Amino acid sequence: MNSQTATRTPSSRSRSLAAQRKMMDRFATVLSWCATFLVVFVLGSILWTLLKNGLPGLTAALFTRSMGAPGQGGGLANAIVGSLLQTGLAILLGAPAGLMTGIYLAEYGSTSRLARAVRFVSDMLLSAPSILIGLFIYMVLVAPLGHFSGFAGAVALAILAMPIMVRTTEDMLRLVPVAMREAGIALGAPKWRVILFICVRAARGGILTGVLLAIARVAGETAPLLFTSLGNSEWSLDMRRPMASLPVAIYQYAGSAYQDWMQQAWTGALLVTLGVLIINIVVRVGIRAGRT
């Protein structure tokens, strides 16, 4: 009897342990599904609210007329163009510096003191409040020149975009297998060719995702633009002058007491969200088409 009891005890323990593991697995699965549902529900609620309040304002006048006084039937054409110009120039300024810095950190200076200092500064900029960046550019570019400008706004947005691209580029390049680098070197290719045509090409999906994250980050920034480009209710394509932008227009219109301005604020927020969503979809479809 003692031997039978001894042989049954481990099996009963294993069964109880398996039952506990199944219970914990089901509990974790339920929590995961609840968290997923919560995130999807919040995102869906935001999109539904934007569509519900923003769609009624999607008219031809919104895209053909500049910002105007309340009740005058103004639009957001100058703000849309100003946002495109400032965001586009910010990415043109920030992307080369961010990508090259990420390549340096991943491929050349992973353990040097300079690399550690650059990585520390990049991480600090990544977590810095955007209003501080705007205030810094105000002191450097706006106050000495004596006027606000779209170029100053683009520089502020570029500084916000660079650390995102630095971090994602470095992380994506570190995921490239060492064997791929060794294969390129074994074929006699110089290191810069291995990095450019093998490593960067293998990690291009993640690098483009980092660029998209940077665009999404700066496309909706308001605080730095209040200190730099300020805003303009008239048409202005001159980057040396104050320039309108969608985030600033939304900020100005959302708190007003005029119904048409509030409607344009909702529609502007919808345009910003749809713009970021369309860019993500187009780039991801392009990446998948390139792989096939």
Q: Identify the three-state secondary structure at position 1.
A: coil
For the segment 148-181, what is each residue's pLDDT rounded down to a tens digit? 999 999 999 999 999 999 999 999 999 999 999 9
The pTM score is 0.86
Using the predicted structure, report yes or no on whether residue 4 has a pLDDT greater than 80.
no
The DSSP-derived string for 154-204 is HHHHHHHHHHHHHHHHHHHHHTS-HHHHHHHHHTT--HHHHIIIIIHHHTH
In the chain, what are the domain boundaries? 75-291
- Show the tokens assigned to 63: 């895209």
Residue in 198, 290, 236 with CA at minimum distance from that of residue 66: 236
Instruction: Assess contact for 169 and 200: CB atoms under 8 A.
Output: no
Q: What is the dihedral sign for C-alpha 198, 204, 205, 206?
A: positive
Percent with pLDDT over 90 in the chain:
66
Mean pLDDT of 111-134: 90
What tens digit of pLDDT does each residue of 45-78 get?
Answer: 999 999 999 999 999 999 999 998 888 888 999 9
First to last CA, the chain: 67
Ramachandran quadrant class, 188 (left: phi over 0; alpha: psi -120 to 50; beta: rest): left
Give the Cα separation of 165 and 126 in Å (integer): 10
Is CATH 1.10.3720.10 the classification given to domain 75-291? yes
